[in-house]
Every structure is written in structure tokens, then in C-alpha cells.
Amino acid sequence: MNNIIEIQGLCKRFGDIQAVQDLNLKVREGELFAFLGINGAGKSTTINIMCGQLGKDQGSVTIDGADLDHNPDHIKRSLGVVFQSSVLDSALTVQDNLESRAALYGIAGQNFKSRLSALARLLDFEDLLKRPVGKLSGGQRRRIDIARALLHQPRILILDEPTTGLDPQTRKLLWNVITDLRKKEQMTVFLTTHYMEEAAEADYVVILDSGKIAAQGTPLELKNTYSGDYITLYGVEEQAVKAMNVEYEAIRDAFRLSVPDTAAATQLILKHPGIFRDYEITKGKMDDVFLQATGKKLEGGAEK
Amino acid sequence: MTVIKALIKRNMKLFFRDKGMFFTALITPAILLVLYISFLGNVYRDSFVTNLPEGFQLPEKLLNSLVGGQLISSILAVSCVTISFCSNFLMVQDKATGSIRDLTIAPVKGSALAISYYIASLLSTLLICLAAMVLCFGYLAVIGWYLSFTDVLCLLMDVILLTLFGTALSSIINHFLSTQGQISAVGSIVSSGYGFICGAYMPISSFGEGLQKVISFLPGTYGTSLVRNHSMQGALQEMSNYGMPQTAIQEFRDAMDCNLYFFSRPVSIPVMYLILGGTVALLLTIYILICKRKKRA
């Protein structure tokens, strides 16, 4: 697979604050790429530079084969962006909003009408076209934001915390649409999120801390590197667990044992076959990875 | 061109659908109307009557037309500028709400955005001001019509020129604003202050000499004078036909700001047009330069 985004040596400073420091990353075509970091880690700065909203101090950004410095318009046509908060015009109807935005890409008349009906079917907002955006619910508005980002059929969809504040049903709907788009149109998705379960679904994850990459890899690689495994053990007495001399915690109807990796879990089970009658082994979570890699907890974007 | 057309359509729709922005734009003309209905109209009428030469009388219709001409000139002169400021606040609101990001992530040139804001604001203001002008003409037709066809055409030109001036000035000032608070502050200052400094609320001739000199440097003053000249020209001519002495008419023109002086030197109507037209050209050049100089942070 080709790299559709390549960033090399990217630096950006705001006064005394080095927002992005020598950032290098590659995103492969068609993959779901997750960009994690607390607020102020440099995610939005990087995205803003990629979108041409912000100048860079150093480094190069190549997107869809075009260099940001020489062909920003090509890059703008390749990117569809769903901002953290909706930036559509609240006073205008859904159709007016999408019509004005489509015109920015030269899509008008019959081309716009056919694109609009395709998106309305895909994102299920045919009945919302005549309603002002300001009168829509959070979930409905998010669907329109995604439709706006997809108007010009971009090759890369940037989602900046797209599901924050949405109900589980709408989150599911959005993820179904995004998954569908990736499959059908080979669309690359560049995601920033605070939901670790969303990051865990990504093909590749980059964790950013103070403008630098703190960790990167597939979710499995990250979990293997930065977190251990857990064995949840049911139907045993605490004395028996204590005797195994491993770190554990009591949960409602079981004990959760922490082990360095799956091999260590296997060894422990083989050593105490009498105790391990009802159990399950799980990998560490992305939260643990994030905590290990940055020393910080990611909850709602704030450092904990 | 499609992009600019689409953006102009979007900007105009937003202005007319945003009731807050639309009605704020109408506050200053509304205040003027209330002031005239409640007391200013009577003040001017009494002033006209008491300043007539002794034993000289004018028909009621002519007096009404004089007061009406004063009223409509004030309303039109102020509206062209204050409404253009309000309609042009959209460029600030787009920054405050973040909508500008949604426009600039598309392959759209900054100049296209700047032009679309300017033209949309110009058209919105013209629509409102021309509608107001039609209402004003209707009012004059009821109370006393003395305008010639040339006066009407000149008034149309004055309104267009003043709107071009207001839109260019507001484009430059609004370019540097980025928050709702700044919109409120500038909106309040312009709405309340512009009527005074352009001579709409009170004639400039009634101000102190020092202030008059300062105000004579402001191009908007000449815009107001142009509108006043053309809205009162017919009635003043009619006063002459009634045998009113020319010296008295000249004094009257001085008092009503139909005659303006730059450090005691009279400014003729063609020169007023030159000042206003030149200012529009200068402001537009400044706006274009500002937009060109704006670089990415």
C-alpha cells in the first residue's frame, strides 16, 4: 500500500511554546489512522497545517502526492474535514449549507443535486434537507458535517473527535458509515479521538505528547509493548490468588491478575492448573498504553 | 465566478435570515425616526418658521417638505453606513463561530472570500436603503413633493456612493475584528456615534467651531450633505419662487448643512462627489492591500 500522507520533520512554534517538534509520520492509503493526545499535544496544530489553515516553521507535508508548499489546492481537494464542533451556518437550511459548500469545489447544478441525494441516502438525512442546521440535534448535525466533508469525494477524511458528545446509537451509525466508506471507496480516515475503544479499532495509532511522538504502532503492537495482559479469575478464594504471588485486584465477582504478557499468563496457568478452572485472558487496553507512553490519562481530552 | 456567486448568495441569505443582525442594522434609522416623530421634527419646524424674514409666510406643504427632506436625508445618510457595518459583521461572525475554517479548507482564494463579503454587504445594504428610499419618497409625496427627476437620480447616486463608502470602511474595520464582543462594541459605537459625526442627528453648523473643523475632515460628512442638498433642493427652490430673499435662503442652507465649509472655504457639490468617490477608491485600495498582506500565521 502507498503512503497517502507523509509528514517529515514538521515543526511549529507559537511564541515560547513548541507545539509540534520534529514530527514524522506516514499514513497508508485506505487505513484508519488514529492520532491520540491530550489537549495541547499538537494534534490540532498538525491537522491545521495539513489543511493549509496554519503555516509551518519547518518540515514537509506531502498529501496524495502533492507537496503542501507547492500545491495546496490539490491537497484541499483531497481532504474532507469534520471539525470538532460543527462549523456550518446555523441559520441556513441543510440544503443551503451543502449547496454553498459544494460550490467552493465547483460542484453546482445537476452535479450538486445528484451528489446531495447520494449523500442524503448514505447518511439518512433526506427528511432534514429543508430544516435549519441550528434546529438539528447533535447527532443529526454530525451527519450533515460528515456529508459536507464528503461533498467533493475526498480521498482522505479527517475526523477531529467526531463522536464527542454523541449518543451511542448515533456513534454507531457514524462508525457504520465510515467503515462502509472505507470499504467501498478505499477512503483513508485520519482520526483524532478521546475514545480509546475507537482508537483500538484503528489500523495504526500515533500517540502525541507535547508535540512529539510518544508511541506508535498497530493497537496490538502498542498493547504488547506498553501494557501487560490481564487474567480474570472466577470462583476462587483470595488466599489462593495471594499464594500465586502476582499483582491482582479484587473485582465484583472475581480477581483480576496483571501479568507482563500472554506467555507469562500461560506459564502461570500451567503452574497452577487447579486454580485456573474458570478464567479469561485479555490484552491491556489502549488507556493503559496511553498512560504508559505519556504518563497521562486521556479522559475527555484533559490531562488527568 | 461560481464560487464568488455562491458565497455572495450565502452571505446575503445569512444576513437576512439572522434576525438579530438584520434588526440591529435598522436600530439607527429607527432611532432617528422616533426622534423626529417625538420632537426633532417640531424643533426643526419651529426653527424654520422663526428664522423666516419678518412678515414672511410659507405654505404648510412647503414647511412639511423642508422638515421631511431633513428627515429623509438623515435617515438615508445614516442607514447607508450603519447597515453596511451590520451586514459586513458577517465576516467577523464567521471568524467567531469558526465557519471561516469551513470555507478556507476548500480550494478558495482569500481574494474570493474578501470580494464576496464586500459585494454581499454592498447588495444587502443597497436593498434595504433603496427600499427605505422608496418609503421616504412615498412619505414626501404625501406631505409635500418638490423633488425634480434630477434630484431623484442624484439621491439614488448619493445612496449608492454612501453605501460603497460604508461598505469599504466597514470592510477595513471589520477585517481586524474576530469576536462577538468586538462586534457588539463596534456596532454600538457606529450606531450611536455615526449619526452625530455625519450631521444626521444635529446639523454640523450647530456644533462648536473646533468640532466643525474636525468633522470637515471626515468624508461621510460630505455624503450627508449631498443627500441633504438633493432631498431639500426642490423645497429650497420653491422658497425662492415664493419670493424668499437669497440671503435668507443661503443662511438656511448653511444652517441645514446644505452648504459645507472646509476651513471657511465653501465645498461645492462636484467637490463633495470627488471627496466621497476618492475616499471610496482609497478605502477599497486599502482593503485590497490588507487582504493581500494577510499571510498565514
- Name residue, grid cell 519547518: A58
| Long-range residue pairs from A261-268, CB within 8 A, at least 24 positions apart, any chain | A261/A224, A261/A228, A261/A229, A262/A229, A264/A228, A264/A229, A265/A229, A265/A231, A268/A231, A268/A244
Q: How far is B79 from chain A (nearest CA, A)?
A: 24
Cα(B69)–Cα(B76) distance, integer angstroms: 11
- Inter-residue contact B64 to B145 (CB < 8 Å): no
Give the DSSP letter of residue B198.
Answer: T
**A108/B101 CB distance under 8 A:** no
**B98/A55 CB distance under 8 A:** no
Q: How far is A126 from chain B (nearest CA, A)?
A: 21
Res A129: pLDDT:
96
Q: Helix B90-97 to helix B180-197 angle, to the nearest 10 degrees?
A: 160
Which residues in chain A have their CB less than 8 angstroms from residue B98's CB?
83, 85, 87
Q: What is the pLDDT of residues A174-217, one digit of tens each?
A: 888 888 888 877 899 999 887 787 888 899 999 998 899 999 99
Contacts of B59 (CB under 8 A, 6+ apart): B242
Q: What is the CA radius of gyration of chain B?
A: 20
Give the DSSP letter of residue B245.
Answer: -
Contacts of A24 (CB under 8 A, 6+ apart): A7, A8, A9, A10, A213
* ipTM of predicted complex: 0.82
Pick the residue of A76, A100, A148, A160 with the most B CBs within 10 A to test the interface with B by mutation.
Answer: A100
Task: Say yes or no to pLDDT of A303 above 80.
Answer: no
Q: Which of B97, B105, B297 sits opposite A51 (nearest CB)?
A: B105
In chain B, the N- to C-terminal Cα span, in Å, equals: 27
- Reduce the secondary structure of A155-220 to three states and give it as a string: CEEEEECCCCCCCHHHHHHHHHHHHHHHHHHCCEEEEECCCHHHHHCCCEEEEEECCEEEEEECHH
**A83/B295 CB distance under 8 A:** no
Cα(B136)–Cα(B134) distance, integer angstroms: 5
Whether residue A175 lies within 8 A of chain B, CB to CB, comes out as: no
Q: Which of A52, A83, A106 sits opposite B98 (nearest CB)?
A: A83
Pick the residue of A45, A77, A87, A96 with the most B CBs within 10 A to test the interface with B by mutation.
Answer: A87
Q: Which of B5, B97, B105 sits opposite A81 (nearest CB)?
A: B105
The residue among B246, B215, B194 whose CA lies nearest residue B83 is: B194
Give the DSSP letter of residue A285.
Answer: P
Task: Say yes or no to pLDDT of A123 above 70.
Answer: yes
φ, ψ for residue A187 (rounded to 5)?
A: -80, 135
Would you say the pTM of this structure is higher than 0.90? no
B70 vs A25, B40, B192, B268, CA distance in Å? Answer: 69, 10, 19, 19
The residue among A225, A233, A265 whose CA lies nearest residue A252 is: A233
Chain B CA closest to residue A104: B3
Q: What is the pLDDT of residues A38-73, one digit of tens each?
A: 888 889 899 999 999 899 999 999 999 999 999 999
Task: Say yes or no to pLDDT of A301 above 50.
Answer: no
Res B22: pLDDT:
81
Chain B CA closest to residue A83: B102
Which residues in chain B have their CB less than 8 angstroms from residue A149's CB?
none
Cα(B238)–Cα(B232) distance, integer angstroms: 10
**A87/B98 CB distance under 8 A:** yes
> Taking residues A6-18, what's their average pLDDT?
93
How confident is the prediction for chain A on average, in pLDDT? 89
Helix spans in chain A (H)? 43-50, 72-78, 94-103, 109-123, 138-150, 168-185, 196-200, 219-226, 238-243, 262-271, 286-294
- Inter-residue contact A157 to A4 (CB < 8 Å): no
Chain A CA closest to residue B100: A87
> Taking residues A278-295, what's their average pLDDT?
85
Chain B CA closest to residue A151: B106
- Provide the chain B residues 6-45 that lie in CB contact (below 8 A) with chain A: 6-7, 9-10, 13-14, 17-18
Q: What is the pLDDT of residues B79-130, one digit of tens each?
A: 999 999 999 999 999 999 999 999 999 999 888 999 999 999 999 999 999 9
The residue among A219, A195, A215 whose CA lies nearest residue A207 is: A215
The residue among A107, A83, A79 whose CA lies nearest residue A187 is: A79
Q: Is the dihedral of CA A31, A37, A38, A39 positive or negative?
A: negative
Q: What is the pLDDT of residues A124-172, one digit of tens each?
A: 899 999 999 999 988 889 889 999 999 999 999 999 888 877 788 878 8
**B107/A99 CB distance under 8 A:** no
Q: What is the mean pLDDT of each run of 10 residues along chain B (297 residues)?
A: 91 89 80 83 85 82 91 92 92 92 92 93 94 92 93 96 96 92 88 84 87 91 94 91 88 89 92 96 93 63
